[in-house]
Amino acid sequence: MRHALVNGSILIDGRFHAGKALLIEGDRIAAILPDADVPADVARRDLGGDRLVPGFIDTQVNGGGGVLFNDAPTVEGIAAIGAAHRRFGTTGFLPTLISDDLSVIRQAVAAVDAAIEAGVPGVLGIHIEGPYLNIERKGIHDGDKIRPLDAEGLEVLSSLKRGRTLVTLAPERTSPDMVRQLVERGVIVAAGHSNGRYEDMIDAVEAGLSGVTHLYNAMSPLGSRKPGIVGAALEQDGVTCGIIVDGHHVSATALKIALRCKPEGTLMLVTDAMPSVGSDADEFMLQGRHILVRDGACTDDAGTLAGSNLDMITAVHNSVAMLDVSIERAIAMASAAPAAFLGLTVETGRIAPGLRADLLQLDAQGAVARSWIGGSY
């Protein structure tokens, strides 16, 4: 079935174009053509002059809609999280499991496999954040769950049959050989919750590590004689860094420095969202700890940040306001950059013929008026 989106301003290759129509066939973008050239027999949806942009991809989604993935590693839990975030422009996401027992990781992997097979909208794979971390930089993670990476863990981390698997680990708590084995099995490896040396990070990059989870947070900082994980992340052009632009996790100045250091396309917006996103709840439980949502931040009773209350459209607008980037670049940081990181550029992340029709209609105020995932809304 074909339909066309007309009378909008479409973001194509980094620029908005008026007077263009987007022709959708099934789940794909069939063509971009002048409004006047849309065939008469094709159903039209008038965008009313709104902007049409690629859907956002969030590689770090702990929860949403009142659901925490660790508590609900099920198809139903994943669907509820995805539905909550779709309201804010996320058309592709990785349900994210923070450090937990291997039995829970197995349940989460099986749930993501089943969700993808069942066609739950937006599910691209899984992000397993821990438990192979450095307890010195554990942040909100439960220290009792943290463990060394062994052969059993390797098997579990690489057991997803469908979609992408992203694993966050501390390079100094494993070996380059383990990183290499994960990458060879198709796992995308990122550094995070690490107190490693610069040299540890470089060894891991050479073994295939390609990402950094929430840059600056929970990792060894850039020092004058010890560059640390942050220094390596900023230096290595081939490493993509997730950033949380919520005004709480990282200062705008630090993020602007990262923007100057990193090649375009290697900084991507993430939310690190918790169950409060898309919910009226201002508190929740996280592995036995009380988390309060206050002034836009999620913290435990000791004041430790516990993920975020951020959604992707807010992250995009925050990037424009706080980092002085254009709306076009901010959108690319939420779409094209994560698509490239996940190896999905031939599927999604941009508006171009042949790609999946994962799209957002943004109204005059920049809010998400409508979304399409695979051509469906």
- Show which residues are catalytic: 272
- Region for 32 from its dihedrals, namely left if φ exceeds 0, alpha if ψ lies in -120 to 50, beta otherwise: beta
Confirm whether residue 317 is marked as ligand binding: no
Confirm whether residue 136 is marked as ligand binding: no
Confirm whether residue 119 is marked as ligand binding: no
> Token pair for residue 264?
């375009």
Please give the C-alpha separations between residue 352 and each of 191, 219, 356, 363, in angstroms, as whole numbers.
32, 37, 9, 21
Helical H runs in 65-223? 75-86, 102-118, 151-157, 176-184, 198-206
Confirm whether residue 318 is marked as ligand binding: no
What's the burial of 57, exposed, middle or buried (CB within 10 Å: 0-12/13-18/19+)?
Answer: buried
Q: How far apart are CA 332 and CA 313, in angstroms?
A: 12
Confirm whether residue 223 is marked as ligand binding: no
DSSP state string for 82-105: HHHHHTTTEEEEEEEEES--HHHH
Confirm whether residue 140 is marked as ligand binding: yes
Q: Bridge partners of 90?
A: 56
* Vertex 153: Cα angle to 95 and 156 (nearest 5): 50
Q: What is the DSSP letter of 163?
A: S
Q: Give the residue numbers of the binding site for substrate.
A: 140, 217-218, 225, 249, 305-307
Q: Give the residue numbers of the binding site for Zn(2+).
A: 129, 193, 214
